[in-house]
Amino acid sequence: MYNILVPVDGTDHSLKALHIACDLAEKYRAIISLLYVLDINKTAHEILGLTIAGKFDSHLRSRLQEAQKEPLVNVSKTILSRVGKTILKIAAARAERRGIETRILAISEGDPAENILIAHKLIAASTIVMGSRGLAPSRVPVSGSISARVFAEADCTCISVK
């Protein structure tokens, strides 16, 4: 079975990647496997700035707004896990509305590129479709640092979406 790995983080690029992965899944009758990597360096401000943040439930939004009052403190793992579960749920619903079989992988923690590569091996992904841009630990937008490493080390077809 053709398996497409789609790392999602709630950014516009990752949501566009999901859309393209869905197009491929429809064409090749593939399964989409969704992955969220917990980023303990995320601030509440960054999370609330995601396009998808408007779909967070009121309790999660209020916890993030409360956390935003302490700008030098990173968001707790508990809140980040809820954010990840919400993003995965929304992404899965988008794919399933199109009739695509979807698997949600366990939320992982640590280096995003390393976790994506591990997931790729574990599920024997035929393709990885991911956003080409994210936030570096310095909070500066960067193009491709994670995707460049994944694409260099993965032994499957890789598609970068901007």
Tokens of 102: 């979807």
Amino acid at 82: R
pTM over 0.85: yes
pLDDT (tens digit, 9 = 90+) per residue, 73-84?
788 999 999 999
Amino acid at 4: I
CA dihedral angle for residue 75, residue 33, residue 8, residue 128, rounded to 10 degrees: 130
Question: For residue 4, which phi and psi values (nearest 5 degrees)?
Answer: -110, 120
> Could you state, in order of their start, the residue ranges of all structural domains in the chain?
3-40+84-161
Give the angle 14-149-32 at the CA atoms, nearest 5°. 40
Instruction: Single out the residue of 157, 148, 152, 95 nearest to residue 124, CA to CA.
Output: 157
Per-residue model confidence (pLDDT) at position 19: 98
pLDDT (tens digit, 9 = 90+) per residue, 71-123?
777 889 999 999 999 999 999 999 999 999 999 999 999 999 999 999 999 99
CA distances to 111, 126, 136 from 122, rounded to whole Å, are: 16, 12, 26
Q: Which CATH architecture has domain 3-40+84-161?
A: 3-Layer(aba) Sandwich (3.40)
Rg (CA), the chain: 15
Task: Identify the bridge partners of residue 80 per DSSP, sorted by sequence position.
Answer: none
Amino acid at 23: D
